[in-house]
Amino acid sequence: MAIIGPNGAGKTTLFNLICGAIPPSEGKIYIFGEDVTNLPRYKRVYHGLAKTFQITALFFEMTVIENIILALQGTSKTKFSWWKSVHNNQELLNRAWQSLKMVDLEDKSEAKVKNLAYGDQRLIELIVALASEPRIIALDEPTAGLSMAESGTMIKIIKQLEPDITLLLIEHDMDVAFAVAERIMVLNEGEVIALDTQENIRNNTRVQEIYLGREGNADECRNLKS
Ligand SMILES: Nc1ncnc2c1ncn2[C@@H]1O[C@H](COP(=O)(O)OP(=O)(O)OP(=O)(O)O)[C@@H](O)[C@H]1O
Ligand SMILES: [Mg+2]
103 and 154 fall within a common domain: no
Residues 6+ apart with CB under 8 A from 175: 223
Contact present, 75 and 131 (Cβ < 8 Å)? yes
Q: Give the residue from 93, 153, 88 showing the smallest Cα distance to 118.
A: 153
Q: Chain-centre distance of CA 165, in angstroms?
A: 12
Ligand 1 centroid to residue 60 C-alpha, Å: 30
Dump pLDDT digits (tens) for 31-85: 989 999 999 887 887 787 876 654 457 899 999 999 998 888 876 655 555 555 6
Q: Residue 225 has what pLDDT?
A: 55
Selected residue with higher pLDDT from 125 and 214: 125
127 and 141 fall within a common domain: no
CB of 5 closer than 6 angstroms to any ligand 1 atom = yes
In a domain, 223, yes or no: yes
Ligand 1 centroid to residue 188 C-alpha, Å: 9
129 and 141 fall within a common domain: no
3-state secondary structure of 32: coil
143 and 212 fall within a common domain: yes
9 and 42 fall within a common domain: yes
Q: Which of the listed residues 12, 13, 173, 210 should we mutate to test ligand 1's pocket, taking the one with most ligand atoms within 8 A of CB?
A: 13
Domain stops at, among 113, 134, 155 = 134
Q: At what angle do helices 90-102 and 64-74 cross, to 10 degrees?
A: 120
In a domain, 114, yes or no: yes
98 and 158 fall within a common domain: no
Ligand 2 centroid to residue 143 C-alpha, Å: 13
Strand 183-188, strand 191-197: pairing: antiparallel
37 and 67 fall within a common domain: no
Domain that holds residue 6: 1-47+135-226
Strand 2-4, strand 183-188: pairing: parallel
Our count of domains for the chain comes to 2
26 and 65 fall within a common domain: no
CB of 9 closer than 6 angstroms to any ligand 1 atom = yes
Please report which ligand is nearest the Cα atom of 8: 1
152 and 215 fall within a common domain: yes
CB of 11 closer than 6 angstroms to any ligand 1 atom = yes
Dump pLDDT digits (tens) for 156-210: 989 988 888 899 999 887 788 988 999 999 999 999 999 999 999 989 999 888 8
Atom of ligand 1 nearest to the CA of 9: 21
pTM of this prediction?
A: 0.79
